[in-house]
Structure 1
Amino acid sequence: MQQVKLQEFSSRPDFWLKSIFLSVAVTSVLAFTGCASKPQINNPVRYANAPEYYTVRSGDTLSGIAARYGLNYISVAQMNDIAPPYRIYVNQSLRLKSSGAKRTTSTQAYNQSAAIQRQTVPLPKQTPTYVPPAPQTNAPSVNVAPAPTTLRWVKPSSGPVISGYNLANNVKGIRYGGNQGDPVFAAADGQVVYAADGLKEYGNLVLIKHIDGYITAYAHNSRMLVKSGDNVKAGQQIAEMGSSGASQTMLEFQIRSNGKPIDPSALLPSN
C-alpha cells in the first residue's frame, strides 16, 4: 500500500463513511498527477548536475528523476522515506543529495520546522472494508486535550465564527465566515505538507505540520499562496478565503494533535 508524507487526518469509522477522505480523493490525485510506477534501472549516459532538492512535476517517476542526474533510485527513495513501489506525487519535494545543509531561512520558522520529523501515513484501500462501530452509550464524547507546546498561536482569520468545534455535529474545528478573497493566515510556525484540491469535500486545502505533533488544516480556499515544502511563520498569509468544496464562503480550520482533532479555541488567542 502506498504511503504519503501526510499525518493521518482521521481514523474514525464515521469519517470513512462520511467523506471517504483519503480512500478516493487522494487516490484520484495520485492517478491524475502521474505517480511513479516500478522504477526502471537504465540510466542515461550524460547526467545533469543534481540539485539538493527537486520538486516533482506531472509525468515524473522516481527512476526517471534518478536517471536524469545519474543517481540510484533506491538511494533516493531511502533518503526520502519512500517505500516500494516507489510512488511519488506532483509538488512533492525530493532530497537528491545525502550531504549538505538543509534548506534554511533566517527566521524562527525554520528553527522550529527543523524539529519536525518526517511522518508517513498508510492510505486506505480504494474500497475500504466497513467495520461496524462499537455500540454507542449515553456517555458524552471526550475531547482530546492539547499537548504542551512552545508554539505561538494566532487566529487564522479575522472573520466571525459561524460554527464552533462540535464533534457531535461532525464539526472538527472552527468555521470562520467572510468574503471571497479574505486573507487566511498560518496559525503557527511550521512547514506546508499539502497544498492541493485532491480532497473534494475540503476544496483547496492547505495542511501545515508543526512541532510537538500538531497539524493544522485550512479548507475551502479560493486561492492558495504556498506550496508543499514551504516553511511558514505564524500570521503569514497562506491562502485566500473561498467556497471550494463548500456551499458558502468560509474557512474551515482544524487542529490535529497526534492525528486527533482538538478544539482550536483551547490554543488560539481569545481576542
Structure 2
Amino acid sequence: MTLSYSRTALILLAATSLSACTTYAPFGEDAQVARPNYPTRLPPPDTQTLPPAQSGPDQAPAPQAGPATSPVQSRPLDPVPNGPAYVTPSTPPYTPPPPPYQPPYQPPPVVMQTITKQTVTGKVVDAAGPPKSHTVKSGDNLDAIARAMGTTRKQLAEDNDLKEPYVLRPGKVLKGPSSDAKAYVVGSGDTLYAIARRFSVTGQALADANDMGLDDPLTTGRKLILPDGFKDKGPTTVTTRVQVPGTGLQTPAPAPFQPQAPAQQTPTYTPPPAVQPEPGPPRTTTTSSTKTSVTGKLVDVAGPPQIYTVKNGQALDAIARAMDTTRKQLADDNKLKEPYILHAGDKLKGPRTTVKAYVAGSGDTLALIARRFSVTPKALAAANDMKVGDAIRSGRKITLPDGYKDKGPIKETVRTTVTLPPEPRRDPTPAAPPPSRPYTPPPAQPVTPPSTSNYSRPTPPTPSRPTPPPASSSGPLSDSQITAQGRGRFNWPLRGDIISDFGPKGTGQRNDGLNIRANAGEAVRAAAGGDVVYAGDQVPGFGNLVLIKHPDGWVTAYGHLARLDVKMQQKVVQGQQIGQAGTSGGVSEPQLHFEVRFASAPSERARPIDPKLVLGR
C-alpha cells in the first residue's frame, strides 16, 4: 500500500520515538547499513558496541555496566547514497520532473505553382448561315433584288410566297438563299460567354445568331454560327496560382503536454450515452415561380409611304383613287407638273402608311421581342434599321415587320424541387435518469508502520495527460447537405471565366465567393428571387454592391458593379437585371464578385459557401 509522503514521515517519527538509538541489519552481505534521517545517540569513542538487549513482553532490557560515557551529541546523519530517501515533515511535497523540452511548432512552408491553361480551343469551319434578307426600299423591283441576292426572280418569289404582278411595299423584308457563314465547333467545357469573348461579340448576339437562349446548354461538337463582324482572337489563356498539395498547414499542431497534479477522484453520476434517434423518411418540397417578360404595349406609328408602279396607259386620277388620295396631293408628293405625263415603270409615292410598333420595357431584348411576335431577330432589326446585338432602351418604339403574330407576354414557369434532411423520429417517453446519490467515502483503514527492514522508496503517482472534451455533436453542414438544400434554387448571375475561385489563396487570405470575368457594362442578373437588403457603395473593397435575401436562410452578394439597377427593399425575380459588371472597388479589369451565404437556423449567422455547390452547370 503506497502512502503519501507526509504520512510516511509521521509514521517513521512515531515508530522511532520509543528508542534513543537504533541500528539496522544489512539486507545482504554487501549491503550498506541503512541509517534513519533523524538524531541518534552514539557510543563513546574507543568503546565496544554493546550487543542488543533481549526483550520480551514481560522483560525490560538489562542494564549494562561500563565506563562512563561522554556527553551525548546529536546531529543528523548524512544520507546514504542510492538509499531510500526518508522524508521529514519539513520536506516539500514531491514535484514531478518537467516534461522534455519541445520546440514551438513551425508549420511547413506554403509552395505555390503557376498553372496555365487554354480554353475555347475549338476550330472555325465553314457552314450554311441564315438566309439572306433584303428590306424593300422605294423604287426597288423584284428583278433587281434577285440579282443583288444572287438568285432568280422566280426563286425569290417562291421563297417569299409572292404572286404576280409582284407588288412590293417599302419596308417589306424578303428572304433569299442561304448565306455562307463561319461557325465555331464547341469543345468540352466551353460556355456561350467564353466563345463570345474569343470572337469579340456579345453573348446575346451569339445566342440570337443561333436561335437559342443565353442559358441553353452547349453540347460538344455543336457548330455555332458566328454573327457578322466577329474577330477571332484565338483561344483564351488563363493563368492561375494554386497551392501545391501537401504543403503548408495541413493539420493543427499537437498541443504541448502539460502534467497535472493528481487530485482526489470523486465518483460522480455518469448518464448513459444518448441514443441517436432513427432518421425518418427523406422529405422533398417543390416550389414553382412564374416569370413574365416582354409586357409592353402595341401602338400605331407612321410607317413608310406607299409606292405605286405606273403601268402602261394609267392616268394620275386613277392612281390617286387607288392610293386613297387626291390628284393634287399625289402630284405635289411626287413634284409632277401638268399635263402630268406618266411612263410605264415610274414609281409614285403616296400617303404614309400606318404600322404597329411595340413599346420596349425594362430588360427587353430584341430576341425576346422577336419571340413574342413570331418573327426572326434579323427581320425585326432590319425593320428598325439596327443590329441584332444592339441594346434597347426602355420606352423605344420597335416597328413590327409584316406578318407578325402577337402571342402576348412570355411566361416561363420554373419548378424547384428541394430535398430536406430527414426528420428524426423521437421517443415520446424518454427514460428519466436515475436519482443521484451523495458520495460516501470508504471507511478509513488502520495504518501499520512499515517494517524498517524491508522499506522501499514510495513510487510517486504517474501524472495523466488531460483528456480533451468530447466533440460537439452539432456542427456545420457538409458540402453534400448544402448541395441538397440549394439544388435548383440559383442560376448563374453572369457567365464567364473564373478569375479567382472560392477558398484560401495561400497568402493568409481567402475568397468567400467567385470572381467572374465579364465585359464592361454586361448585365448582371439576380441568381434567385428575393428582397434587396442593401444596394450601395459603402462596403470597402466591394465597390457598388447588392445584397439579396432569399427564403430559407440564403443570401447572395454581387460586387464590383458599374451601375446599380435596383434599390433597397425592392423585390426582384430570378433573372431580373440588378446592375452591370464593372471595375468599382479598385479591381483591374471588369468582373463580378459573387457570393452565396447560408444559415441553417434563424439564430445562426449566414456563413459563406462555395457558389459552385448550388449553381447549375
Band of TM-score, shorter chain: 0.3 to 0.5
Q: Which protein has the bigger helix share?
A: 1
Q: Which has the higher relative contact order, 1 or 2, with Cα contacts under 8 A spaced 6 or more apart?
A: 1
Specify the structure having the higher radius of gyration (Cα). Answer: 2
Given the two structures, how large is their TM-score scaled by the length of structure 2? 0.21
